[in-house]
Amino acid sequence: MIEEFLRKEKLAIDAELAKYFNNLNDSEHEILLKDFISQLKEFILNKKAKRLHSILLIAAFIGIVNPIYLTEQIEQIREVSLAVELLHSGHLIHDDLIDNEEQRRTKPTFHIQLKKEIERVYKNLEFSHKEDIIEMYGRDMSILGGTHGYLLGLNILKSSTFPDYLKLLAINEYTEAMDFLIKGHIIEEYMNYHNITMTLEQYLNIAEMQRARLLEKSVKVGAILAKGNLHYQIRPLSEAMLRIGQAYAIRDDILDLKEDIRRKIKKNFVYILTIQNSNEEQSKTLNEIYRMDELSKDEVKKVELIFAETNSVITAEHFSKNLVSQGKNYLKDIYPDLNKEQKSFFNEFSDYIYMREF
């Protein structure tokens, strides 16, 4: 059931995004802004994007709204769901820039995309500091592009046709999501530049801010616009998504483990577990390897062996599974319950987070 719902809604959201950017382009008269909009469109309309935040918003709405109003409101809620997709995309643009990532969903990240675009403009020109200027252009325009994504999403909520009191509540959740994303970035970068070793508690706090909160706010906006009951429907659904969002982050770390070792990433959940459970010799080996400029296959295997010896991967899997179980328990507390299909969807989505292999 979940695969079909994800596939169907992703297609619908992709179509809505294409229509949205076409309308945005048509309404803009400044030629340079039109070009910038086309750059954002190219990045955001990546076919490999899962659109999970928009889908969760829609699923929460469908699960709670009075069924007699669903047919006339389904297109409306799909349009509104673009708000959280644009917020998520803005966050990805900033995240990729800060981490100096070069690829996102098998295509160039936004700052790399912009660098390639300006390189074509400057191709036949020679001047001093050309490479520095190209680098600065990608950086500066990505800072603006990510922020613009946040504001575009906010404008979608503001211009929707839902009652004003519901929009105000939804906007409040949206701005709180922005706040969490930014604070999560600040804490992570502060720890990085001050060389502060991340604890499990700090990891889970950052995972909540940067991953779980946007999932939670997505379902909360959908539930609010469906006129859900705050205490008996919205709150348990929100608590469920917070646990599932943290499980999502841990599962990502498990899936990305070999690449994170190769890149000497220390904010991986498995690495943090290993540091806490390693003996003196294992800790010394890890420190020596992670100080190297580049890791060979043998060094990567040594790190993987230490992860295995400390049972860190197995522990991470159990931790993730336990968070999913906690999320499912909160789903049981929803009353009046979600409609049957959406109840199944959220339970299946919980398992999907834990079992996925991509």
Q: How many other CB atoms are found less than 10 A from the CB of residue 193?
A: 8
CA dist 142 and 111 (Å) reads 5
Using pLDDT thresholds of 50, 70 and 90, give the confidence band for residue 296: very high
Over 90: is that where the pLDDT of 357 sits? no
Instruction: Locate 304 and state its tokens.
Output: 């993987």
> Mean pLDDT, the chain, as a whole number?
96
- Tell me the pLDDT tens digit for each residue of 118-135: 999 999 999 999 999 999
- Tell me the pLDDT tens digit for each residue of 186-207: 999 999 999 898 999 999 999 9
CA dist 225 and 170 (Å) reads 7
Q: Name the nearest CA neighbour of 35 among 123, 131, 141, 127.
A: 141
Q: Which amino acid is at 349?
A: F
For the chain, list the domains and their CATH numbers: 1-197 (1.10.600.10), 229-358 (1.10.600.10)
Q: How many other CB atoms are found less than 10 A from the CB of residue 303?
A: 24
β strands within the chain, DSSP E: 103-104, 107-108
CA dist 223 and 221 (Å) reads 5
At residue 258, the pLDDT reads 95
User: Strand, coil or helix: what is 100?
Assistant: coil
pTM to 2 decimal places = 0.95
Using pLDDT thresholds of 50, 70 and 90, give the confidence band for residue 354: confident
At residue 353, the pLDDT reads 84
Are 307 and 257 in contact by the 8 Å Cβ rule? The answer is yes
At residue 292, the pLDDT reads 95
